[in-house]
Structure 1
């Protein structure tokens, strides 16, 4: 057996630091790395009993918990491919992810039973297992794991080139695309974080961002496990509780989006909370506003900011905390094992200061999209660099600055929203004749989606109508926050909507 993937990590942690605390979660007893490894072994056995083997997708739909990571590593040990499902998706979207990935097993939290009841049969997922005890007739994961026994010794042969996960990211075609991340991708992104964020075994990381996001998983949980440090896993984010956990557990590491940090700074407990143990704050999704920088610097704290995408697992660049003010507005330097370049429309590499498309290369960059060879081919240059679709430039010191997006993606509270998906659904609303969705600046969320629409004469359409028609069909964070009626949409000679004009008119 040659287990060179992440499936070997927890077994090696059991050997190297079996008594070190791995996970703290709610009122449950802290879990050591030895216990973590045993739990992963039991889940590996549960999967094996259901015929799961190398290359078989195993989906997980649930909030942050120890089970999330146990299932991921349990799947990795048998060579299966982990498919984390966004908990904010509507039932039809969940069904699509299950069907497209070909998931053989879905493990889900009880809170999602209603969505799963329609999604799993629609996707024809063979095995559905609920987290927890379940019932005697339909035993849950905990009951099955206890019955599975240990030790588990049947690890699959796994190489760095083998798929480890399929992470779904909304695509400009209106359908989610599954980014295939290999064991090597996840290993190298974790190493990038260890190097650039100086992760050490004595760190205590507070996990408040959803683990189904590749940023929280690849740049949060995995580096911590690689180093044998400790995670305090929160089911979700609540600013007052996050502050309390920082003080209670002596948190050293915290990752989030600007909204996360703003809500914490605005909380009544902010001024009285002991934050002295915090040494590593990382922020992604969008630039940190100056007023948030000011609030944290007043407490002696500064941020490492960064830029990335799911396809890079996800880190591409990192701005050292010491350079936050010196290079304010920058997203930093390429990660240690990653390269970034800027090219023009013809693919020629541009000189310092010139704006062009940001391209990324390195062992953390994915090999392609699941089942989409054409989309994969379009995503890479002839010499193997990933085309981000974003515009930016490098300064004389090699720091990257984002100028805009070739793709019209909206980033709202750290969540990616692609307009075309919304536009296609909005045009199905009775009376709507055309629609364009843009991102409008928002103090709390960074950006929120607005829909600019034209309607049939004599028909009444408003924000509530559109949101009601879309609710249940897409995740609620994607619902337009405002719907504006116009006589006509500005278009080019070829009929394409001039979204720059709409952003100028409505996005200020």
Structure 2
């Protein structure tokens, strides 16, 4: 075959797993044979509409088989897939469409109004709507019904662009990270080596596929191995628990809040979750009470660290190390290397905090049409500057201190909010927390805690300070605390600290 990229994966997998279930959404199921046939139809239909190698094809929608069909069909043609975040405003989406130069936009019916507004004054020349329920009448299904299902084989190399994924844009304009077919392939191999993904894996995807973790750590490795994806359109704890029992789910990924809400749901103790074998938690460390709730059901957590620019895996922490290396993001993935350096790019001794660098075949080589941003993001040798602070312990395990830009400097002392947040999360009354810096005449900056409390709980600033005084240095303790109903988050569940700084980062907030 001429195509050595991701676009041919399902065509190749069809030969080995034709009758195996590939994708499930509610009562709709596709075998690998059916999925491959539909991908071929989308590929041929797009080709008839002028899509060639290098054309950008965008998709706006949540977890739906059409997302995967469009992505693989684009890859089959050597086109570049542009998944869009449904949580963005039409203006933000329009920016991504214009920045990427996307000519085709495929939209779920639930996002039609949003998509049409975004497509105005953009390069989009083909606009197609997909029914929310797979297979129902729509522009998309009409396109498929009129297309041949023969397989197209276009020359695609690992070096060719596969996906443009826009960063969450917590600061400044979002940048398009260009993930090549090689990046996606090597990331998937890292997952297969470092986690227990098999052809029998049934992975429930509750995070949106337009987010790199759900796509790169969940969907692609499972499909490469011939397992089954169960797509969840939204996160409601009781629905997730029901899906685990119904489909005999073996693998589940999420952020700490995801698992906390599952363990607190009224159906938690009555749901059969005995099929679960692997839990993966990202975003931040698992709170002890959540860890214990799942350990009581015989389950442990794997974890890891990564970012869009690493496709996304950089490190992994297997469940057997969770308690031994509490708070760690784990060891570098098998085909990936990690360093910690000072401000001059020199390696630091074990235990010293510095900027985390990542290198490997899963690391992107460029941002879309951003030569300056690309040049500023690497040290010599292809070492990507993560912008995150951390250290390696004596065994080579990575510990994340914080985002470089989130670090608070108070009276000349560096304060890493993640350390303070982890200590605060030990309080039973706290559901989630973010620590930001507030201007201070004497110290330059001092910490402030922004808290979400569990229902029916209360917490005074005095109680917070008393708790922290035994756990962190005095200068790290927040001088003030603000209680809110919820914290602003990105699609991946990460807290948008830039938004919090705008709202609460002033002295009299």
Structure 1: how far apart are the matches of 2:502 and 2:163? 37
State the secondary structure of the residue aligned to 2:175.
Answer: strand
Q: Which residue of 2 aligns with 1:425?
A: none
Q: Which residue of 1 aligns with 2:159?
A: 161
1:319-350 CA distance string (max 9 Å, x none) = 11001100001110011111101001111111
CA shift, 1:200, in A, is 0.5
1:197-239 CA distance string (max 9 Å, x none) = 1210011111111000000000000010010001111112111
CA shift, 1:352, in A, is 1.0
Structure 1: how far apart are the matches of 2:338 and 2:367? 21
CA shift, 1:295, in A, is 0.7
Q: For the structure 1 residues 84 and 192, does the alpha-carbon distance in structure 2 shift closer, same or farther, using more than 3 Å as the test?
A: same
Q: For the structure 1 residues 483 and 175, does the alpha-carbon distance in structure 2 shift closer, same or farther, using more than 3 Å as the test?
A: closer
Alignment counterpart, residue 203 of structure 1, candidates 201, 204, 220: 201
Structure 2: how far apart are the matches of 1:144 and 1:5? 24
TM score, norm. by length of structure 1: 0.81
Q: Which residue of 1 aligns with 2:11?
A: 11
Q: Which residue of 1 aligns with 2:450?
A: 440
Conserved? CA contact 2:38–2:149, under 8 Å = no
Q: Which residue of 2 aligns with 1:495?
A: none
Q: Which residue of 2 aligns with 1:347?
A: 345
Structure 1: how far apart are the matches of 2:242 and 2:333? 32
State the secondary structure of the residue aligned to 1:167.
Answer: strand
Alignment counterpart, residue 224 of structure 2, candidates 223, 226, 237: 226
CA shift, 1:315, in A, is 0.6
1:352-371, aligned counterparts within 5 Å?
Answer: 352-371=350-369
Structure 1: how far apart are the matches of 2:138 and 2:82? 22
Structure 1: how far apart are the matches of 2:167 and 2:336? 21
Q: Verify: 1:51 aligned to 2:50, yes or no.
A: yes
Q: Which residue of 1 aligns with 2:109?
A: 110
Conserved? CA contact 2:191–2:221, under 8 Å = yes
1:350-377 CA distance string (max 9 Å, x none) = 1111111000001100111000000001
CA shift, 1:150, in A, is 1.6
State the secondary structure of the residue aligned to 1:68.
Answer: helix
1:234-292 CA distance string (max 9 Å, x none) = 11211101101111111100011111111101100001111111111001111111111
Aligned residues: 438
Structure 1 segments, 4+ long, off by >4 Å, are 409-412, 436-439, 441-444, 477-486
CA shift, 1:480, in A, is 4.9
CA shift, 1:171, in A, is 4.2
CA shift, 1:403, in A, is 1.2
Q: Which residue of 1 aligns with 2:74?
A: 75
Alignment counterpart, residue 285 of structure 1, candidates 270, 283, 286: 283
Conserved? CA contact 1:59–1:82, under 8 Å = yes
Conserved? CA contact 1:132–1:143, under 8 Å = no
Q: Which residue of 2 aligns with 1:303?
A: 301
Alignment counterpart, residue 246 of structure 2, candidates 239, 242, 248: 248
Q: Which residue of 2 aligns with 1:382?
A: 380
1:126-141, aligned counterparts within 5 Å?
Answer: 126-132=125-131, 140-141=139-140
Q: For the structure 1 residues 112 and 172, does the alpha-carbon distance in structure 2 shift closer, same or farther, using more than 3 Å as the test?
A: closer
Conserved? CA contact 1:318–1:331, under 8 Å = yes
Structure 1: how far apart are the matches of 2:215 and 2:19? 23
Structure 1: how far apart are the matches of 2:20 and 2:503? 56
Task: Name structure 1 gaps, 5 residues minimum.
Answer: 420-435, 445-462, 490-501
Q: Which residue of 2 aligns with 1:38?
A: 37
Q: For the structure 1 residues 165 and 443, does the alpha-carbon distance in structure 2 shift closer, same or farther, using more than 3 Å as the test?
A: farther
Q: Which residue of 2 aligns with 1:449?
A: none
Root-mean-square deviation over aligned CA pairs: 3.0
Q: Which residue of 2 aligns with 1:26?
A: 26
